Every structure is written in C-alpha cells, then in structure tokens.
Amino acid sequence: MTDFINPNKNQLSRFKPKTLDAQSLLDQLKRGDRAALSQALTLVESKTEGHRKIADKLIQLALPFSGKSIRIGITGVPGVGKSTFIEAFGEHLTQAGKKLAVLAIDPTSTKNKGSILGDKTRMEKLSVNQNAFIRPSPSSGSLGGVAHKTREAILLCEAAGFDVIFVETVGVGQSETMVKSMVDFFMLLMLAGAGDELQGIKRGIMEMADLLVINKADGDNIIKSKAASAEYKRALHLFPPNENEWIPRVAVASALEKSGMDNIWKDILEFNNQQQLKGYFDKNRQAQQMDWFDNLLISRMTETFLKGQADLIQQIKLDIRNGQLNPSAGVSKVLEQISKA
C-alpha cells in the first residue's frame, strides 16, 4: 500500500541551496539523466526561498531547449480508467519511438494535507519503460485539477528530451479549465452506458475537449460505445465553433484490449498539423506563457502579502472566531492596513 506523502515536506532538505547548480542540472537534463530530472522537478516544487531562486534560474536556462513536445491534457469521468488508458496509449507511443513524460496529479487530502501519489503503482508497465517517465505530484489545493508547478514541470521534461507530455488531471469538472491553458490538445475520456450520456458531465468541459474518447469499448460495451459515440457527435455539432477552427472528434477505444490507440494518435497529429499550418499553435503557446505569468504573479503576490500581514491576519481571525468581528469587516481592516503601507 502506498503511503501518504506530505506535499509540504521539503524533499530537498538534505541539499543546501549553494550546493545546487542550475547549469549543472540543465546539462544533466539534456543528457537524459532521469535522477537529475526528478531532482529538478522537486526543486521547482520546493517552497524554500533559496531553492526557488535556483529553480527560477534553471527554468530560464531551460527555456531555449523547451517547446518541442506535444502537450496533451487528459481528464475523465470517475471510473473511466484513466490510468489504464494512459498506460495503454503510452505503451503505443513508446513502441512507435516516442519519449513520453506523464505528469500525474493526485488530489491532496483536505484533512491531513497528504496525497497518495499512487500512479506509478497503477501504471506498472509504463513505470519501467525506458522511454517513459512518470511524475506523480500532489495538487496541494491548486485549482484546475493540476499541481502548482505543472507548467514548470512541462518545460523541464521538454528540456530533458521528452517529445510527448501527458498531463493527467484530477477528476472532472468546471475547475479543470486551467489545464486547457497549459496544453496543446485536450482529451476527455467518457464511458458508455453510464446513464444519460449528455447529463453525466458538464457542458463546459465538453466544449473544451478536442477529442472525446469512449473508453472500455470491449465485450458487451461495444454496441453501447458505438451508440454513445454517435450521440456525442450529434451533441458536439450543437456547440459553437472553436476559434482555432478545429472540429472536435469522438473516438472509441479499449485500454484493456489496446484497441483504437492508433486512430487517437492520428487525430492528435492531424490536429497538431492543422494548428501549425493555420498559425494557431504558436498563438496558443504564447497564450500559455501569458497565463503562466498571470497565475504566477497572483500566487507570488498573495504569498508575499500574507507573509507581510501575518500578525494582523492572525489577530483578525481570532476576533472572527470569538464573534467580535465579521469576515467582511475583517477583510476591510486588512485592506486598510495595506493602503496605509
């Protein structure tokens, strides 16, 4: 059984910031050193100020060597078999000579702040595949079904030579719109025969999908899967056209029988070629950089603000808990203090 891992525990505690060298780490990444990649990813996830400065330098140095992969976001309804699908599809790609990195996000417990991080145990074959790299990370309260440093992780994996990046998101729902802002292609896994096909998932996430995959299309589910595929195709035609001119598609696959994987990859390559030819690929990558900046700016500003007003905030929380102050008035007091600074 996989133990809970505390995402707040500093896994680089045995390293002093001065012993870590960004250029040396990058050189090792470019040589395909997996241990160096794991260390680099842990470095960017660290909340230690010294580590953060080195991580920022590493990201800057790695930037010219990134951007050459196809970034694929994968999400799905509960019970759809995401891990089994990712392993089957990943095996298909590595057999075709691709180097695959899987950034698998596990939800962090709101109770003990821990995360199971069990994706490597669920993807046994892929975890020992020499052309694949699996990095489970805790969501740590981040919205959007992704980890706090997913963007940095994508960049570092690209610098390490991986040409396909999977971002496996937590669950499925409206909050997962964030993953759309950091990938090129968004795949939504669905099930057939699980009740009302079009009511089982929110329309918002269907509109974001570039490809809907009906998984578990095997055995008695084959007929149901084909029927669900036809229904989804009709539903997608009712949605407004995408700005990038891509018409979302529906595919049928069985991760268990490893069927349909080739057609899914063909759809992804066709999407990629179309976006490149029409100029939408570069436009989307530029938008990803802007979203990265905006989210990082808000995150760092919030962190700096909370640290600077820690004593005041603690006192206000105490007053609210004791019933001496309401939350709205408490926020006003904090903002008043900021305006005076």
Q: Which residue has the higher pLDDT, 317 or 49?
A: 317
What is the distance between the alpha carbons of residues 306 and 157, in angstroms, rounded to a whole number? 32
> Which tens digit of pLDDT belongs to each residue from 54-107?
999 999 999 999 999 999 999 887 788 898 999 999 999 999 999 999 998 765
CB 105 within 8 A of CB 139: yes
pLDDT of residue 73: 94
- In this structure, what token pair is assigned to residue 113? 């702040």
Q: Which domains does the chain have, with CATH numbers?
A: 67-278 (3.40.50.300), 290-340 (no CATH)
Going from the C-alpha of 42 to that of each of 16, 37, 87, 152, the distances in angstroms are 14, 9, 24, 11
- Spatial contact of 180 and 146, defined as CB atoms under 8 Å apart: no
The dihedrals phi and psi of 202, each to the nearest 5 degrees, come to -70, 145
- What pLDDT score was predicted for residue 143? 42
The beta strands (E) that lie in 196-299 are given as 211-214, 249-252
- Mind listing the pLDDT tens digit for each residue in 303-334? 888 888 888 999 999 999 999 999 999 999 98
Q: How confident is the model at residue 198 (pLDDT cuts 50, 70, 90)?
A: very low
What is the phi/psi pair of residue 135, to 5°?
-125, 100
Q: Distance between CA 177 and CA 201 in Å, rounded?
A: 14
pLDDT in tens, 120-152: 556 888 989 999 999 987 654 444 444 578 899
> pLDDT higher for 139 or 268?
268
Checking if the pLDDT of 16 tops 70, the result is no
What are the tens digits of pLDDT across the range 206-229? 778 999 999 999 988 899 999 989
* 232-236 mean pLDDT: 85
- Assess whether pLDDT exceeds 70 at residue 14: no
**Confidence at 19, pLDDT banded by 50, 70, 90:** low
Residue 232 has a pLDDT of 86
Radius of gyration, CA atoms only, the chain: 22
* Claim: this prediction has a pTM higher than 0.85: no
